[in-house]
Amino acid sequence: MSVSAFAELLERLIFTPGRNAKLALLRDWFATQPDPDRGVGLAALTEELVFTAAKPAMIRDLAAARTDPVLFALSHDYVGDLAETVALIWPERAGVNAPPPTLSEVVEALEVTPKAELPALIAGWLDTLDSGGRLALIKLITGGLRVGVSGRLARVALAEWSGKPVEEIEEIWHGVAPPYLPIFRWLEGGAEKPDPRDAPVFRPLMLAHPLEDRDLAALDPAAWRAEWKWDGIRVQLTAGPGGRRIWSRGGEDISGGFPEILEAMDFHAVLDGELLVIRDGLVAPFADLQQRLNRKLVGPKMLRDYPVGVRLYDLLFEGGEDLRALPFDERRRRLEDWVARFEPARMDLSPLIAFASVAQLGEVRDGARAASIEGLMLKRANSPYLAGRQKGLWWKWKRDPLSIDAVLMYAQRGHGKRSSFYSDYTFGLWRPDGAGGEELVPVGKAYSGYTDEELGWLDRWIRNHTVSRFGPVREVEKALVLEVIFDAAQLSGRHKSGVALRFPRIARIRTDKPASEADRLENLMAYVEAPAEA
């Protein structure tokens, strides 16, 4: 299939907000496209295949040679995006009857073509495509697709399309390279499941359910183990003769962002743990870790100012031995021994918390106020390590949220099903305005927590109390109080108020409370926690 089919998929994915619709589009792609193009397209979408063969400047030069400079400048100014401008302005040549290239032709040609011949090759392709195809091609070869399809979403789509469990696909995924021919053959029933052997692959994570009161009542302290629930990001460390990888919770390879961890992975094992910024033995707030996320490369300053470590809580493989079928207690013992033996740099054990009764555990949980702790993890002592969310084996027991009464300041429409509703709310708290009065300062944004009825009510209130509009945003009368709950308040230099909230959501609409009686910024600042002792 040609680049044109890929361009159509790309256009739909870019404009489609809904997850289910994205899955449907991907399933259709797998079902209708031939090999190897479906795999090449998939790898490009999930950015497992990234091209840097052509620089944006080369593309601009190609277009400049074919267009009037004044018209090009006016067009670029109007469209904004360079690749899109070139795709749209590219003059179609009469009499071109060469077929558009297939995705795999593009990939192969980029590999073998000498640099000096690239401009002519690319111009020739652009001549065969329509504007959508040209845009897809330019984005593809300059490494800027960015369509918001995660590897996880793609694997879920493959599972839905093929009927195979997504966990099985996850486990072999990173052992097979694009265009994934052995995987497609297996999914279509034409071959055995590929064996990744020594290749570093992602093992699907075991996930926890939120603990409900009735589950708590049934908990037998002797049969359960407790740990802190750390507020970092979950990672899986995989290292061995086949290579080293750091996987995110969704199975994305994030190794490049954390070279100091990768360097420390001088072992042959698969570990489960929490990635945290740890400074002088203290776990820093999540906002600090955020500085390190979504980076392909990190500079020396980042490494110095935001040092990361991994707090380990499970051992999945030791050497080549798969420990996942063993009970938790056994794996824990193996993990403790392993840490003692290897003493890996930048890694430590997530401690177990001793408790004799549920009541005692509740006290421990309530006493945990450090910003880096979200609550407790409860793991059944005899639980094997199973993929996915297994009920009754692991619980997460978050501490009770904090709460403030804030004033609604701005509202924005949502996406997809909520596109007709003002569903995203910016709220603020009072502080002195420096002139003897009070002013509201925004402290956060929430887009969940309310019921459908409350959403409808808020939507009407916002439409009837709008004081001004900026594009999609409405500023409202400062007259409505919302009770906002959140997991933690953390200092932040990036927010005007100086404070950032973790997981803010709307708990209640306080029509009973006048705006002047809403909380003040200092009430919120009192919630800001000191870093936790590591």
Partner 1 sequence: MPHPETWLRVTPDGLLCEPGGFFIDPVRPVERAVITHGHADHARPGHQAVLATPETLAIMRARMGEGAGASQQPMRYGEVLRQGEVTIRLVPAGHVLGSAQVVLDWRGSRAVVSGDYKRQADPTCAPFEVVGCDVFVTEATFALPVFRHPDPAHEVAKLLKSLALFPERTHVVGCYALGKCQRVIALLRAAGWDRPIHLHGAQQPLCRLYEELGVPLGELRPATVANKAELRGAIVLAPPSAIADRWARRLAEPVTALASGWMRVRQRARTRGVELPMVISDHADWDDLNRTIDEVGAPEVWVTHGRDDALVHALAGRGIRGRALHLVGLGEDEDEAAVPADEAPAA
Q: Which residue, 31 or 354, has its beta carbon nearer to partner 1?
A: 31
The residue whose two tokens read 């490009």 is: 44
The CB-side HSE value for 324 (13 A sphere, CA atoms) comes to 16
Neighbours of 246 (CB within 10 A): 23
What does residue 140 show for φ and ψ, rounded to 5 degrees?
-65, -50
Q: Tell me how far, at minimum, the Cβ of 74 lies from partner 1, in Å.
A: 5
Neighbours of 188 (CB within 10 A): 12
What does residue 517 show for φ and ψ, rounded to 5 degrees?
-95, 5
Q: Tell me how far, at minimum, the Cβ of 9 lies from partner 1, in Å.
A: 11
Closest Cα partner for 144 from 77, 28, 52?
52
Query: Is 90:134 a contact under the CB 8 Å cutoff?
Result: yes
Does the active-site annotation cover 513?
Answer: no
CA–CA separation, 114 vs 106, rounded Å?
A: 14
- Residues 6 or more apart whose Cβ sits within 8 Å of residue 216: 358, 397
| Cα three-residue angle 8-81-86, rounded to 5 degrees | 70
Binding site for partner 1 (CB under 8 A): 8, 11-12, 14-17, 21, 24-25, 28, 67-68, 70-72, 74-75, 78-81, 84-85, 88-89, 91-92, 130-131, 413, 415, 417, 419-420, 469-472
Q: Tell me how far, at minimum, the Cβ of 451 lies from partner 1, in Å.
A: 16
Q: Tell me how far, at minimum, the Cβ of 78 lies from partner 1, in Å.
A: 6
Q: Tell me how far, at minimum, the Cβ of 412 lies from partner 1, in Å.
A: 11
Q: Which residue, 51 or 72, has its beta carbon nearer to partner 1?
A: 72
- Residues 6 or more apart whose Cβ sits within 8 Å of residue 350: 227, 228, 230, 273, 274, 311, 312, 313
| Cα three-residue angle 177-181-186, rounded to 5 degrees | 115
CA–CA separation, 290 vs 275, rounded Å?
A: 11
Q: Which residue, 70 or 359, has its beta carbon nearer to partner 1?
A: 70
- List, in sequence order, every residue forming a beta bridge with 355; answer none if it has no partner: none
The residue whose two tokens read 């995989």 is: 238
Q: Which residue, 2 or 113, has its beta carbon nearer to partner 1?
A: 2
Q: Which residue, 91 or 165, has its beta carbon nearer to partner 1?
A: 91
Per annotation, catalytic residue among 22, 139, 229, 379:
229
Q: Tell me how far, at minimum, the Cβ of 34 lies from partner 1, in Å.
A: 18
- Residues 6 or more apart whose Cβ sits within 8 Å of residue 496: 441, 442
Q: Which residue, 76 or 431, has its beta carbon nearer to partner 1?
A: 76
The CB-side HSE value for 269 (13 A sphere, CA atoms) comes to 21
Neighbours of 247 (CB within 10 A): 25
The residue whose two tokens read 């904004």 is: 80
Q: Tell me how far, at minimum, the Cβ of 438 lies from partner 1, in Å.
A: 31
Q: Which residue, 421 or 503, has its beta carbon nearer to partner 1?
A: 421
Q: And the tokens for 478?
A: 């400062």
| Catalytic residue numbers, as ranges | 229
